[in-house]
Amino acid sequence: MNFFKLPDLPYAYNALEPYIDEETMKLHHDKHHAGYTAKLNSAIENDASVNKKSIEEILSSLDDLDEAIRKAVTNNGGGFYNHSVFWEIMATKKDQEPDGELLAALNKSFSSFEKFKELFTEVAGNHFGSGWAWLVLSKGKLEIIDTNNQDSPISLGKNPILTLDVWEHAYYLKYQNRRPEYIEAWWHVVNWTEVQKRFEKST
Ligand code: MN
């Protein structure tokens, strides 16, 4: 069978300082993401109909799962997948900006890049409780959405382009309850090169 493997961070734990601190990255990756990965593997280990599929296949057909494991796979499979995307869309190279086709699409969908940032910040800031904010491509259109817990846009038939983890575990050590400060800081470390690649692959 196909055990899912915790991906390594694509940079050092301290690479996103001062915006996201080393201690948070260590806990977030080595404990939280590792935990989702281990629990996903244990949920599917005895189910031959699931354990040969890719994570994208699993999350896009949650209704096909045996009810006994559906909740565990939704939560931990989403946790495994969402964090894998989240690490990739951040970068050591600070203060990047989008360009090319992605910038043109953002301008077209949200009237300007600044307006897009404002709307995304608002959705991330207003999300109640644990969850994620996303820029997704849905039927060829860019949309900003939020999801609860570890729910993934893949399960809604939408392609994730950019995401921000707004669980408290993502920011509490450095920012305590100040989620808006965390969101403001996070914009500095967005990997627009990678986001652009995800956009091009999805169109
Ligand atoms: Mn997280």
The per-residue pLDDT for range 61-84, each reduced to its tens digit, is 999 999 999 999 999 999 999 999
pLDDT reading at 1 higher than 90: no
Taking domain 22-88, whether its CATH number is 3.40.50.620 is answered by no
Helix (H) or strand (E) segment spanning residue 73: helix 67-88
Q: What is the mean pLDDT of the chain?
A: 96
148 vs 151: CA distance, rounded Å: 6
Two tokens, residue 136: 């997704």
Distance (angstroms) between ligand 1 centre and the Cα of 105 equals: 28
pLDDT band at 129 (very low <50, low <70, confident <90, very high): very high
Distance (angstroms) between ligand 1 centre and the Cα of 108 equals: 31
71 vs 59: CA distance, rounded Å: 11
pLDDT band at 48 (very low <50, low <70, confident <90, very high): confident
Residue listed under structure tokens 């900006």: 97
Distance (angstroms) between ligand 1 centre and the Cα of 83 equals: 6
pLDDT reading at 10 higher than 80: yes
Pick left, alpha or beta for residue 144 (phi over 0 → left; psi -120 to 50 → alpha; otherwise beta).
Answer: beta
pLDDT band at 203 (very low <50, low <70, confident <90, very high): confident
Task: State percent of the chain over pLDDT 70.
Answer: 99
Task: Determine the pLDDT at residue 51.
Answer: 78
The pLDDT of 108-119, averaged and rounded, is 98
Query: Which tens digits make up the pLDDT trace of 154-164?
Result: 999 999 999 99
In CATH terms, 100-202 corresponds, of 3.90.650.10, 1.10.357.10, 3.55.40.20, 3.40.50.300, to 3.55.40.20
Distance (angstroms) between ligand 1 centre and the Cα of 14 equals: 17
35 vs 27: CA distance, rounded Å: 11
Distance (angstroms) between ligand 1 centre and the Cα of 28 equals: 6
The pLDDT of 8-30, averaged and rounded, is 98
Residue range(s) in the chain whose domain bears CATH number 3.55.40.20: 100-202
Task: Determine the pLDDT at residue 164.
Answer: 98
44 vs 69: CA distance, rounded Å: 7
Residue listed under structure tokens 């989008």: 98
Task: Determine the pLDDT at residue 52.
Answer: 85
Distance (angstroms) between ligand 1 centre and the Cα of 165 equals: 6
Residue 183 contacts residue 124 (beta carbons within 8 Å): yes
Residue range(s) in the chain whose domain bears CATH number 1.10.287.990: 22-88
Task: Determine the pLDDT at residue 2.
Answer: 61
What are the distances in angstroms from CA 128 to CA 16, 34, 147?
26, 25, 10
Task: Determine the pLDDT at residue 163.
Answer: 98
Task: Determine phi and psi for 98, rounding to 5 degrees.
Answer: -70, 155
Query: Which residues are near ligand 1, the ion (C-beta closer than 5 Å)?
Result: 165, 167, 170
182 by DSSP, 3-state: which? helix
